[in-house]
Amino acid sequence: MPARARPLSPHLQVYRWQMGSTLSILHRLTGLVLALGLLPLTFWLAALAGGARTYGIAADLFASALGQAGLLGWSFAFFFHLLNGVRHLMWDAGYGFEQGQRRLSGWLAAGGAAVLTLCVWALIWHGAHA
pLDDT, averaged in runs of 10, over the chain (130 residues): 72 80 96 98 97 97 97 98 98 96 97 98 89
Give the pLDDT of residue 1.
Answer: 63
Please give the domain boundaries of the chain with CATH numbers for all domains: 21-128 (1.20.1300.10)
**Length, in residues, of the chain:** 130
Element (H, E) at 43: helix 38-50
Give whole-number Cα distances, 18 to 22, 115, 118, 127, 129, in Å. 7, 23, 26, 40, 42
pTM: 0.86
Other Cβ atoms less than 10 A from the Cβ of 65: the count is: 7
